[in-house]
Structure 1
């Protein structure tokens, strides 16, 4: 069972679940931490939900670091994991994360079954939520709330810090979700001058410099 097979099954299920909801957007490989880390699938509506896939061919070596990053950004997270990984994976993630088990049916299709539901994130980090924005998007939100004076030409990181410090967390999350849903060019990998923002969490203990800067993509 490959990552591609599980991803197709998950995307099909999510498309069916949200097909008649114009308020929902589904994005594959959505970047967080200024684009340096990518979640397999994100669902954006009244919440920001992330889905991380660990197929039978994947290992769990990166999961502890990934969960630390995702847990700062997403309102909900679900781990979609091959059956033989499920017990080990469950102890590596927070209790509020959901778990779906991916297994192979008799006809060789992938079946997904909920093992435990996801719950609301108790500790979203405002700055990491703000860092989901591209620089023009951050400027637009600051302008909308009368906070852009003196910051219009500031670096993206400074804009994000102002948003995180000035807007109530629930309002910030709403603004970011609505901005992400309206975004048209998801092919961009990082946010303007965020390329030199340190990530600060090593995703691969065997490669300590692999994610030293946000402009460098990290393999799963």
Structure 2
């Protein structure tokens, strides 16, 4: 039996996400840095929600999973883990019950298929602070400006974040972050 790689699973996952979201306003972001760079989310979909996907292929280990759970949960409205056959049987015991679970495998035509084992539920652990980690300084300044908060122009990122958290509601922060990730321009240059 051949082992699926992250690359195989990711390609199939992205194709499926594109199909599910056609005619919608959305964006797929790969390798998104979260929690101030402490982790990277494999695939993120920004549509009506921020949905983070963690891929664990047959070549991976689960040694970082505990920390990843913590970071994904502070950041994404929805989270799904996509695993290869190797982890299919025990992953349900390792991730929170609001996480979606999907298993990737080779079907009889030797193509990658992904089977939904459990749908994700809304994650209630998202923190405004961690959403702000996803934004650039200029975007934080725009959010402050839109909310008529003054005196932020020369402040460093930690200060900007503090000002946002003190003056803007969580739901406004969440909506702004999601829409900003969907429409951000000049992204690839700055991810490098």
Alignment TM-score, normalising by the size of structure 1: 0.82
Distance (whole Å) between structure 2 residues aligned to residue 158 and residue 33 of structure 1: 16
Q: How does 1:74-93 map to 2 (within 5 A)?
A: 74-93=76-95
**Structure 1 residues 113-160: Cα deviation after superposition (integer angstroms, max 9, x where no partner):** 11001011112111001111000000011001011x222110011111
- Asked if residue 12 in structure 1 is aligned to residue 15 in structure 2, the reply is yes
Residue 182 of structure 1 deviates from its aligned partner by 1.4
Q: Which runs of 5+ in 2 are unaligned?
A: none
Aligned length: 188
State the match for 2:136 in structure 1.
134
State the match for 1:197 in structure 2.
none
Q: Which runs of 4+ in 1 moved over 3 A?
A: none
Residues 130 and 161 in structure 1, CA contact (< 8 A), matched pair in contact too: no
Q: Which runs of 5+ in 1 are unaligned?
A: 191-220
State the match for 1:29 in structure 2.
31
Instruction: Find the partner of 1:125 among 118, 124, 127.
Output: 127
RMSD: 1.4
Greater helix content? 2
Distance (whole Å) between structure 2 residues aligned to residue 166 and residue 89 of structure 1: 40
